[in-house]
Amino acid sequence: MNADDINQPPITPQQYEVLHGGGAEAAEITRQRLSRRHFLRRSMLAVWGLSATAAVAGALDMLYPNLAGQFGAVLNVGKKSKMPAAIPTKFKLGQAGVFYFQNAKTYMIHMAKDTHFLLSGTNLTDQLVSETVLKDSDGSYWIAVYQRCVHLGCTVPFRDDCDSFKCPCHGSHYNVDGEYLDGPAPRSLDRFIFTFSGEDVMVNTGVLNQKVPHPETGTRLIAVPGVPCSAA
């Protein structure tokens, strides 16, 4: 007995007789049984096909989750005009030079075109590129700084009182442009890649520059702030 036989209802003694006696009735009964067998096979194949498709779709979803609008995707953090530039000593969180976007976990830094850099010429140009600083058409400078402390991952607040970022966990201290100042952090703050789309600032929160080392004479962009941070 094969699997098909198990799934078929038993035939009546009358049908058995007809089948073994030949004739039109026998042909009809045989045709009906073959049709049922084909139907069952096709149904099983269809179910198997649907299951396989669902499994592949699930695997693709895990490998390539839809991050649209979420951290990890390209996020529009707002209009340039809502983020006025300032020179570093005049930064004020949310008002001038430094703006926080929680959904992007990003500080947008906007330095005025008359910002004083410690470098000049090609040294300045090269350092701006390596620190992912974008020069805008109006001469101002932009950076998208990731909020995460590169020591052990605490969120680093910007401190208006000392023109810098100071980590509350172990004291790592970073300049207004995210460059390392002091503390246990192994490098400067990381920066996201970003672009402008017309007036909109688009931050790619899936792509980081994590290679900005401690600055030295010859690589530091901005002077160390003159005001120490007060005790938090």
Between 33 and 151, name the residue whose CB sits nearer to ligand FES. Answer: 151
Least distance CB 171 / ligand FES (angstroms): 6
Distance of CA 139 to the CA centre of its chain: 29
Between 127 and 172, name the residue whose CB sits nearer to ligand FES. Answer: 172
Least distance CB 204 / ligand FES (angstroms): 24
Between 156 and 201, name the residue whose CB sits nearer to ligand FES. Answer: 156
Least distance CB 84 / ligand FES (angstroms): 29
Least distance CB 109 / ligand FES (angstroms): 19
Q: Which residues bind ligand FES (CB under 6 A)?
A: 149, 151-154, 167, 169-172, 183-185
Between 78 and 157, name the residue whose CB sits nearer to ligand FES. Answer: 157
Half-sphere exposure of 10 toward its Cβ, with a 13 Å CA cutoff? Answer: 3
Between 174 and 192, name the residue whose CB sits nearer to ligand FES. Answer: 174
Least distance CB 168 / ligand FES (angstroms): 8
For residue 133, give the nearest of 146, 122, 121, 145 by alpha carbon: 145
